[in-house]
Amino acid sequence: MTERGYQIFDLIEEITLLDGESYFEIANIFLNGIAEYAMGKNLIKAVRIAKLNVFHSKDVELYEKYINDRYEIPDYDLNNWEVWDKTDPSIKPVYERILESNGINMR
């Protein structure tokens, strides 16, 4: 767990990095605000909410635990953007199921 407390996720946002690559992140309104702030500091190119009110399924709970256990939740003093790794075999299918069940096309 991080200093910011355990984060509960209820939305999906699309992040566009400075190089133009984009990806989806399962997050919450606080983290969306951090992404908006990062965009203002030119750490990322864009952020948009792709889905609100994500159902709090078992997969979302697993993803929350994975992120909360492995990453420090960013604050407004950030000076770089960290992309959370979703390639770990324990979380990749969970992440993909969350996106699919919420109608998000990963392209």
> Residue 105: its pLDDT value, please?
83
User: Range of 21's domain?
Assistant: 11-101
CA distance 104 to 68: 23
Q: How many CA atoms within 13 Å lie on the side-chain side of 107?
A: 5
Give domain status of residue 4, yes or no: no
Give domain status of residue 32, yes or no: yes
Give domain status of residue 107, yes or no: no
pTM, to two decimals: 0.91
Give domain status of residue 52, yes or no: yes
Number of domains making up the chain: 1
3-state secondary structure at position 47: strand
Instruction: Walk along the chain (107 residues) and give the pLDDT tens digit of each residue.
Output: 335 789 999 999 999 999 999 999 999 999 999 999 999 999 999 999 999 999 999 999 999 999 999 999 888 889 999 999 999 999 999 999 999 999 998 76
Give domain status of residue 49, yes or no: yes
